[in-house]
Amino acid sequence: MGDPILTTVDWARAQFALTAMYHWIFVPLTLGLSFLVAFFESIYVKTGNEEWKKLTRFWMTLFGINFAIGIATGIILEFEFGTNWSNYSWMVGDIFGAPLAIEGIFAFFIEATFFAVMFFGWQKVSKRFHLFSTWMVAVGSNLSAVWILVANGWMQFPTGMAFNPDKARFEMQNFWDVAFSPVAVHKFTHTTSSAFVLASLFVMGVSALFLLQERHQKMAKRSMVVAAVFGFVASLFVGLTGDEAAFNVAHHQPMKLAAMEGLYVGQVKAPIVAMGIINSSKKPGDDLPAFYQETKIPGLLSLLANRDPNSFVPGINDLVFGNAERNIVGAEQRMITGKAALAELAHYKYAKETGNETEAASALALFDQYKGDLGYGYLTSPAEAAPPVATTFYSFHIMVVLGTLFPLIFLLVLYFAVKGTLEYQRWLNLTCFFSIFLGYVASQAGWVVAEVGRQPWAIQGLLPVGVATTNIAASNVQTTFFIFLTLFSALLLAEIRIMIKQIKIGPEA
């Protein structure tokens, strides 16, 4: 903490993590609940049954309360790229800006325009146009997730771009490569489907509370059935896309995969740790055991990473120090190449500045040789290339365990709903209610894996967070961090209170 630059980075990371995690409390519920409300309203329009309208409006009220604070936290994230990550904004603006602009034009305006009809248009537009508006809010909300996740996917797997040494930034070369990179596609599908699961758990949990309290039982059972079907289908999709996402991580971010499993020494038939307690004192290259205790399933990590249970999966040590036998270049070697790239870039800039074109051309040729490891040139030790292992490991395992539990809950709800005994299953209704919180835990854990697991990189292999930050005194960011913490906490508290009150009032109001 003695280094002022590191301190600024620390606060900037803390502030961005705080904002993103608060934002992600509200967004998944918006993404999923918008579709559930659209399903409910579709049934109302189809059947003409006023009870379904009442049910729709109840969930719509909760949707509206949640939506507002999601927007409030979202605007901060967009502008924080500039305020806290100024160098990053410049270096990736040419690539990152376009998805954001598309998001604004195509998604935000759909949301903003049809949201007003959804809430205030019941008496102003036809039933069918109102339903159309509700669907448009659902589509718009989910579209707004596409482009920010494309941008995030690009940061995890930079593609379709080239470094421009004159401008000292990355520039887009192929929009389609950026938009349809496999990492971006799986990031979007995995994230949105997990949001559908969370929203389904929310609807089931609140409905289960009604059943436990013996209130609004008919409405609660109807809501639970729709949510359970949606949640179950979404859960299967989460599993499928999660598997694809892990496959991508193995190939584009092997260090993240190694951290997810606490794998220090690479091996064939690499196991998945079903349960384990990480040794937090362990550092790359030392002889300490990686776990205090662990239960492993042999070959499963190899299967996940390479679709082959007998294949080799590199560990943290291989990726930090290299493994000649397996032809793996470690961070140690990459740092040498990266520093050479930075030196040649400086050489090139100086030669251009002084008008020495011959020297500039030769420096540029050398830079082009080394530029693949550009980001490693900023690291001060090879071990910096490894993310915090314990946080990544536990978050991944919490996410997976909970993600496996949720479809079982959905199935049980459907089973007892078909049997017509849902309201008598007190244990299941209690489970559903507490699953609301488990849904949020799993959702947040997923983002922790994605973001903590890719440290120290703002852009994988090319730009570490320490270089991406704004050149500003740490005290400024520290102050805004605590302002955000206070403000968001107060607003979250207000939101929860309002939500609880609306649930107490119920659909009869």
Partner 1 sequence: MTGILDHSILQQLWWLIASVVGSLFLFLTFVQGGQTLIFTLASSEEEKSLIINAMGRKWELTFTTLVLFGGALFAAFPLFYATSFGGAYWVWMLILFTFILQAVSYEYRKKPDNILGARTYEIFMAINGSVGLILIGAAVGTFFTGSRFSLNLYNSVTWATPYHGLEAALNPFNLAFGLFLMFLARILGAMYIVSHVDHKHLVKQARKATWINLLWALPFLLTVLISLATMDGFAVNPATGVVFMESGKYLNNLLGMPAVLVLLVGGLGSVIYGVAATGFLGKNSGIWFGGIGTVLVGLAIFSLAGYHNTAFYPSSTDLQSSLTIYNASSSKYTLTVMSCVALAVPFVLAYIAYVWKLMDAKQLTLTELTGEDAKDMY
117 binds partner 1 (CB under 8 A): yes
Of the two residues 73 and 337, which places its CB atom closer to partner 1 in the complex? 73
482 binds partner 1 (CB under 8 A): no
- One residue of 46, 127, 167, 251 binding partner 1 per CB under 8 A: 167
Task: Report d(CA 318, CA 316) in Å as an integer.
Answer: 5
505 binds partner 1 (CB under 8 A): yes
Cβ 157 to partner 1, closest distance in Å? 19
- One residue of 39, 40, 81, 312 binding partner 1 per CB under 8 A: 81
Site for partner 1 in 343-372 (CB under 8 A): 349, 353
**Residue 134 C-beta-side C-alpha neighbours within 13 Å:** 33
Task: Report d(CA 291, CA 278) in Å as an integer.
Answer: 4
Residue span binding partner 1 (CB under 8 A) among the ranges 78-86, 225-233, 234-242, 380-388: 78-86
Element (H, E) at 292: strand 291-297
Contact 191, 146 (CB under 8 A): no
- One residue of 8, 30, 56, 61 binding partner 1 per CB under 8 A: 61
Task: Report d(CA 172, CA 162) in Å as an integer.
Answer: 7
Q: Phi and psi at residue 244, in whole multiples of 5°? A: -65, -40
- One residue of 8, 34, 56, 89 binding partner 1 per CB under 8 A: 89
Task: Report d(CA 164, CA 169) in Å as an integer.
Answer: 5
- One residue of 265, 268, 274, 473 binding partner 1 per CB under 8 A: 473
Of the two residues 14 and 441, which places its CB atom closer to partner 1 in the complex? 14
- One residue of 4, 46, 49, 116 binding partner 1 per CB under 8 A: 116
Cα–Cα distances in angstroms (integers) from residue 345 to residues 36, 160, 355, 417, 483, in the given order: 53, 21, 15, 66, 40
Task: Report d(CA 413, CA 395) in Å as an integer.
Answer: 27
Residue span binding partner 1 (CB under 8 A) among the ranges 95-103, 223-231, 301-309, 409-417: 95-103
Element (H, E) at 136: helix 127-156
Q: How many CB atoms lie within 10 A of CB 166?
A: 10
487 binds partner 1 (CB under 8 A): yes
Tell me, rounded to whole angstroms, the distance of Cα 22 from its chain centroid.
12
69 binds partner 1 (CB under 8 A): yes
Cβ 32 to partner 1, closest distance in Å? 19
Residue span binding partner 1 (CB under 8 A) among the ranges 63-71, 250-258, 333-341, 416-424: 63-71
495 binds partner 1 (CB under 8 A): yes
Tell me, rounded to whole angstroms, the distance of Cα 341 from its chain centroid.
32
22 binds partner 1 (CB under 8 A): no
424 binds partner 1 (CB under 8 A): no
143 binds partner 1 (CB under 8 A): no
Pairs from 49-54 (Cβ < 8 Å, separation ≥ 24) = 51/218, 51/219, 52/222, 54/219, 54/507, 54/508
Residue span binding partner 1 (CB under 8 A) among the ranges 60-68, 215-223, 231-239, 248-256: 60-68
